[in-house]
Structure 1
Amino acid sequence: MKRRRLAASMAAVLSGVLACQIQVHAAEKPEELTVAKVPPYSPHQVFVPDISFSSMTDARVHVFDADSNRFLGQIDAGFGPGFAISPDHKTSYVATTYFSRGGHGARTDVVELIDNSTLDVTGEIVIAPKHGQHVPSPYNTALSDDGRLLYVANITPSTSVTVIDTAAKKVLGEIDTDGCVLAYPSGNDRFSALCESGKALTVTVDAAGKEKSRKLSDAFIDVDNDPAFVNAVRDGSRYWFTTYLGSVRTADFSGEAPVFGDAWPLVSAQEKKAGWRPGGLQQTALHVKSHRLYVAMHKGVDGSHKDPATEVWVFDTTTKKRIARWDLAKQKVDPLIAIQVSTDDRPLFYGITPTSDLVVMDAQTGKRKHVEKQLGSTSTLLVNP
């Protein structure tokens, strides 16, 4: 009798539990997966190409909104990518390599077209399997001013530039650059490449993307005594090249032959003696409207040109005088290996630390605003169109 009453009681309890579960599940709505669009373009959106040296075939580009301090998404970027953004900010171009077996197998080089509103791949252009695979540079994949032509720098180790029609989505041709590397665009039909002699080769292309003319300049970089960093900053067709020992020289590539400005120093004799010099992987940033040049500086010796910066020095490019000196440690900011500045009237300054923290600062005062911890694994470059 007791067993029957116990069984009846247990049945009643289980029935109640089951009824509650049915009611709960009936009230629950099935989970719906949605994909949000990237917010409309803002000059405070930062694109950070990230190459992990422990996984070279799996690069990506992180997208971050510095106004809301929010990670927006990422673009898969393959092996050793080049990266460029269209003038209308709607499309990104990723020049990269894929292997059929991950890190080996049949090689395919492509330029992938990315819709910046969704970060989806919308198309690809197969290119010759020779694009330069190295730490990203703004000029290993670069666009003409109107965005019609895309230049992809190749090295096998012979050097050339692949010319692509972005509207037709096809390769127009390949131009031998005779040992000179990268592609610094000027205007809609011209690019220049840097040569190991310290000279610049300027190539003009015709409407079909074929070579129309070329001109080799005199040497403007002293490659033996004071080499220049390849990550020049740009104001129109004028580029600002910074040297290992801390001088600046402009190169205007708008004509068939470049026009070079006089070199001027970033450091005084006393500062040079103390070892102050530029360093990092992206050493300079330029805010064109305010004529401000930002330089990542450290105390070092010959061979320390890749060392991160402990200070950022700010110069007025019209007077060629330093107007600010930011001690990063005082702002509780780690040393920086790459810097960039936004292009708007209220600019933000960005930096990447060796541990891939993204630092956001006020570009006018140097005041720290935000630090996004470990945005990537080995972030090396900041792109802000």
Structure 2
Amino acid sequence: MRALAAVLCGLVAATQSSASDQPPPLPVEPIGIVETLPRDYPESWFLVHDAAFYHMSDGKVWVLDSNEDTVAQQVQGSFNVAMIGNIKQSASRAEIYATETFQTRGARGERTDVLTIWDQENLSPVAEVVLPQGKRFMGLPERDALLLLNEDRWLAVANFSPAASVTLVDLEERRIIGDIGTPGCVLTYPAGERGFSSLCADGRFLSTELAADGSIVTQVRTEPFFDSDDSPIFERPAIIGDMAYFPTFAGEVIPVDVSGKVAEVGTAWHLVPEAERAQDWAPGGIGITAEDDLGRFYVLMHPEAQDGSHNGGGAEVWVYDPASQTRVARIALREWGLSLAVSRGSEPKLLVTNPVDMSLELYDALSGEFLKTITGLGQNTPLMLHGAR
């Protein structure tokens, strides 16, 4: 008995000593606190679109502050984009638009396609517009699957089922204006104040002019300017003001004036200086182009290009002055890049997706200096990046 009492006394003493070594309990935290983001996003922010390649019904977008150093500080918030949707931000309306698809039993059941309208201050859905079922473009994220037009009053949503068309949405009344057929031509590029152009498989543009009520005024097909078999182009241009710059698989760029009602194709020029063409540099990747507020555009480039390498990404980002048609900077990436985006302002930052571990690399877009790696976001596939507006 004396031995048992000694053991019990020792345990009590150890417990008391251990308790005295512990820090005091944390105070009770209040619940129900909801943070609000600024209506106008800072220049250092990006929208990082995780297409959820391994679990597509659970995609999301992170609002990311590239100036911060830890994930907890970098991630300002997130919202869902279900089933490989696409997004478009309207800074003037302080809204972000996302095409999504849902099924009543998760992976099966009745399908519903919607345009979800997210308030960018609270990252909460404020409205939904049900889209025509089974028509919206579904594939790897595309910046040009959605287009704001008519001073951000309308949104054009590209369809591909495989019939090609565009659904026109009134963003003020939250309703569908109508569907516009674009046979043989896909995606949505600017065309004047109240219109859009689509890229056609036979190497043309189809430019659609719309009336004030959203009805078709004219549809005009341009002359062919590329051959899908012999001289293909990327459907992913950089757009600066009234000019869109379409890279080609062969390492050229085709300027297109989008200010008028009909796309006006200009003369192609080389992205690769003559002295370097023997190295077979060419564009490659998913989000391969971007533009900054200084009037420059960026292209993800890779050497030793060959048939089929156009989606593989690149080792460098080249920066161009379109006015002089010259390369003005060459940024060597620490790791291979797959997609890129550039932030706003006079001191732009370049954000690049590393496809090996799906981390993000940040560079000074003026000096080319590597700044940091952004990682720790969990299982993710940030296949499309956007400079926040």
TM-score (norm 2): 0.88
Q: Which residue of 2 aligns with 1:356?
A: 358
1:81 and 2:85 aligned: yes
Task: Return the alpha-carbon distance in structure 1 between the equivalents of residues 212 and 93 of structure 2.
Answer: 24
Q: Which residue of 2 aligns with 1:240?
A: 245
For the residue of structure 1 that corresponds to 2:310, the secondary structure is: coil
For the residue of structure 2 that corresponds to 1:57, the secondary structure is: helix
What do residues 314-346 of structure 1 show as CA deviations (whole Å, max 9, x unaligned)?
222121122222222xxxx21111112123111
Any unmatched runs of 5+ in structure 2?
none
Counterpart among 248, 264, 267 of residue 259 in structure 1: 264
Which AA in structure 1 matches 2:288? Q
Q: Which residue of 1 aligns with 2:120?
A: 116
Which AA in structure 2 matches 1:193? S
Task: Return the alpha-carbon distance in structure 2 between the equivalents of residues 369 and 268 of structure 1.
Answer: 28
The offset of 1:29, in angstroms, is: 4.3
Q: Which residue of 2 aligns with 1:304?
A: 309
**Stretch moving more, 315-324 or 169-178:** 315-324
1:340 and 2:341 aligned: yes
Q: Is the 8 A contact 1:59 1:80 kept in 2?
A: yes
Counterpart among 181, 186, 202 of residue 176 in structure 1: 181
Task: Return the alpha-carbon distance in structure 1 between the equivalents of residues 269 and 56 of structure 2.
Answer: 38
**Stretch moving more, 268-277 or 215-224:** 268-277
The offset of 1:38, in angstroms, is: 2.3
TM-score (norm 1): 0.89
Q: Is the 8 A contact 1:315 1:324 kept in 2?
A: yes
Counterpart among 92, 95, 98 of residue 91 in structure 1: 95
Matches within 5 A, 1:308-327: 308-327=313-332
The offset of 1:150, in angstroms, is: 0.5
Q: Is the 8 A contact 1:356 1:374 kept in 2?
A: no
For the residue of structure 2 that corresponds to 1:273, the secondary structure is: helix
Task: Return the alpha-carbon distance in structure 1 between the equivalents of residues 332 and 382 of structure 2.
Answer: 22
The offset of 1:256, in angstroms, is: 2.6
Task: Return the alpha-carbon distance in structure 1 between the equivalents of residues 257 and 150 of structure 2.
Answer: 15
Paired residues, what number? 369
Q: 1:197 to 1:374 in 2, by over 3 A?
A: farther
Task: Return the alpha-carbon distance in structure 1 between the equivalents of residues 386 and 328 of structure 2.
Answer: 25
Task: Return the alpha-carbon distance in structure 1 between the equivalents of residues 101 and 220 of structure 2.
Answer: 31
For the residue of structure 2 that corresponds to 1:139, the secondary structure is: helix
Q: 1:145 to 1:62 in 2, by over 3 A?
A: farther
Task: Return the alpha-carbon distance in structure 1 between the equivalents of residues 44 and 198 of structure 2.
Answer: 30
The offset of 1:52, in angstroms, is: 2.2
Q: Is the 8 A contact 1:89 1:116 kept in 2?
A: no
1:377 and 2:380 aligned: yes
Q: CA RMSD in A?
A: 2.5
Q: 1:374 to 1:320 in 2, by over 3 A?
A: farther
Q: Is the 8 A contact 1:152 1:163 kept in 2?
A: yes
What do residues 273-301 of structure 1 show as CA deviations (whole Å, max 9, x unaligned)?
32211111011222242x32221111221
Q: Which residue of 1 aligns with 2:298?
A: 294
Q: Is the 8 A contact 2:167 2:179 kept in 1?
A: yes
Q: Which residue of 2 aligns with 1:215?
A: 220
Q: Is the 8 A contact 1:160 1:177 kept in 2?
A: yes
The offset of 1:260, in angstroms, is: 1.5
Any unmatched runs of 5+ in structure 1?
none
Which AA in structure 2 matches 1:320? Q
Task: Return the alpha-carbon distance in structure 2 between the equivalents of residues 351 and 245 of structure 1.
Answer: 23
Matches within 5 A, 1:184-199: 184-199=189-204
1:35 and 2:34 aligned: yes
What do residues 151-190 of structure 1 show as CA deviations (whole Å, max 9, x unaligned)?
1111111010000000100000000001200011234310
Which AA in structure 2 matches 1:201? L
Task: Return the alpha-carbon distance in structure 2 between the equivalents of residues 362 and 82 of structure 1.
Answer: 27
Which AA in structure 2 matches 1:168? E
What do residues 17-48 of structure 1 show as CA deviations (whole Å, max 9, x unaligned)?
8xx99xx99x8643323232224511221001
For the residue of structure 2 that corresponds to 1:94, the secondary structure is: strand
Task: Return the alpha-carbon distance in structure 1 between the equivalents of residues 150 and 372 of structure 2.
Answer: 32
Q: Which residue of 2 aligns with 1:62?
A: 62
The offset of 1:312, in angstroms, is: 1.4
Q: 1:374 to 1:276 in 2, by over 3 A?
A: farther
1:147 and 2:149 aligned: no
For the residue of structure 1 that corresponds to 2:36, the secondary structure is: coil
Which AA in structure 2 matches 1:382? L
Q: 1:365 to 1:106 in 2, by over 3 A?
A: same
**Stretch moving more, 268-277 or 80-89:** 268-277
Q: Which residue of 1 aligns with 2:367?
A: 365
What do residues 100-126 of structure 1 show as CA deviations (whole Å, max 9, x unaligned)?
111221100001111111111111111
